[in-house]
Amino acid sequence: MAPDPVNIYEYEEIAKARLEKGHYDFIAGAATDEITLRRTRKVLDSIVMKPRMMVDVSTRDLGTTVLGQKISFPAMLAPAGNHGAAHQEAELATARAAGKADTVMVLSSHSAKTLEDVANAATGPIWFQQYFFKDKELTLGMAARAEEAGYTALCMTLDAKISPKRERNMRNDYVGPVSPNYAHLDLGTHSWKFAADAPAGPSDIRDQTTTWDDLEWLASNTKLPIVVKGIMTGEDGRLAAESGAKAMIVSNHGARYLDTTFTTIEVLPEVVDQVAGKAEVYLDGGVRRGSDIFKALALGARSVLLGRPLFWGLAVDGEAGVSSILEILRSELEATMGICGCPTVDSISLDSLGGISPLQQLFNARG
């Protein structure tokens, strides 16, 4: 019997061998040339950490809070459509694993299971992700449904107004199912319109006219705190906080919408700076190691979110697979914190990261 995978990359390798090519490419792929996707890992890998000695790290506390909700370590599950592509229990399995790990799962409105069924299966905190729809009643109605079902925050994805060009999906003629969350709307059978001849689907009901005023409008019409997703500039971060967002996710949607953008970790410091504590700031994109979580926290994020890794966990072993990817990241983070002399998440700071290499400093000083 092959040994269990020891890291997220090994989970992906096994998942790739098991998944249908169309599903694998849909999950792994990104927009056009996938340049930002590759840049994401390059940048994260290039940030260096500083080990520190003689600090009491006999107990390491990874716990934190997001919107006042305690989570056992600073990694949540990002909203991602159709977990059914990776496992038949889909989001029910993911929700149970998130609960077991004592962290938040953000459910995508494109889930394979209804938001109510996922809420019933969940044993931990859950947030709901949706869009601004052309029909304002639908926007408020979905938010109300989520609140009624027990979701405690509303994640509004801002970066998905325009359909992206994803060439892997075009080549595979890939179509995804319409989520049962939209069952009452009669949107046909195809959710993702990558196939040239695919009929209209849920993305066509999104409102492309929205401005920050719409965020203010939503914030004053729901009791749920709003988390906005897709912030990639300091200015948008500031505007989101001023327009009623209680938290935001620095995200480029896993490089799945626009290619050749900065990576999220590159813009994180500017967002943190301009938001100036008026809202919580989280980050997603390319987090595959506990050290990536450490780097994001050192650069000012309160937590990270994981997208593709949850699918690799699901594809390999359902709920247990998702539990395992979370435990791998938790233990990698715990070790990183210990070696860097950071016994708590609050003690992780910019001082823990490298900056210009000492050799480069020497050469610069020589002129």
Q: Please check whether residue 91 is in contact with residue 114, taking contact to mean a CB–CB distance below 8 angstroms.
A: no
The Cα–Cα gap between 142 and 128 comes to 9
* Nearest-angstrom CA–CA distance, 292 and 290: 5
Stretch that binds ligand FMN, among 11-19, 77-85, 194-202, 338-346 (CB under 6 A): 77-85
Please state the closest distance from residue 23 (CB atom) to ligand FMN, in A. Answer: 9
Residue labelled with tokens 């592509």: 85
Smallest distance from ligand FMN to CB 304, Å: 8
Residue 365 Cβ vs ligand FMN, minimum distance, rounded to whole Å:
38
Least gap, CB of 29 to ligand FMN (angstroms): 8
Using the rule CB under 6 A, is 306 a contact of ligand FMN? Answer: yes
How many CB atoms are located within 10 Å of the residue 166 CB? 22
Tell me if 34 contacts ligand FMN by CB under 6 A: no
Distances 116 to 10, 107, 347, 362 between C-alpha atoms, Å: 33, 11, 38, 60
Could you say whether residue 308 binds ligand FMN (CB under 6 A)?
Answer: yes
User: Residue with the closest Cβ to ligand FMN?
Assistant: 307
Task: Give yes or no for residue 39 binding ligand FMN (CB under 6 A).
Answer: no
Helices vs strands, H then E, count in the chain: 13, 10
Please report whether residue 27 would count as binding ligand FMN according to CB under 6 A: yes
Beta bridge partners of 190: 177
Contact between 202 and ligand FMN (CB under 6 A)?
no
307 in contact with ligand FMN (CB under 6 A) = yes
| Active-site residue, 23 included | no
- Are the C-beta atoms of 147 and 93 separated by less than 8 Å? no
143-to-39, 140, 152, 210 alpha-carbon distances in Å: 35, 5, 10, 17
Q: Does 78 bind ligand FMN (CB under 6 A)?
A: yes
Task: For the beta carbon of residue 103, count every other beta carbon within 10 angstroms.
Answer: 26
Query: Tokens 């079902």 belong to which residue?
Result: 149
**Residue span binding ligand FMN (CB under 6 A) among the ranges 49-57, 207-215, 250-258, 337-345:** 250-258
Contact map string, positions 93 to 112, toward ligand FMN, x by CB under 6 A: ---------------x-x--
* Catalytically annotated residues: 253
Residues of the shown chain interacting with ligand FMN in the complex, contacts defined by CB under 6 A? 26-27, 78-81, 108, 110, 129, 157, 229, 251, 253-254, 284-287, 306-308
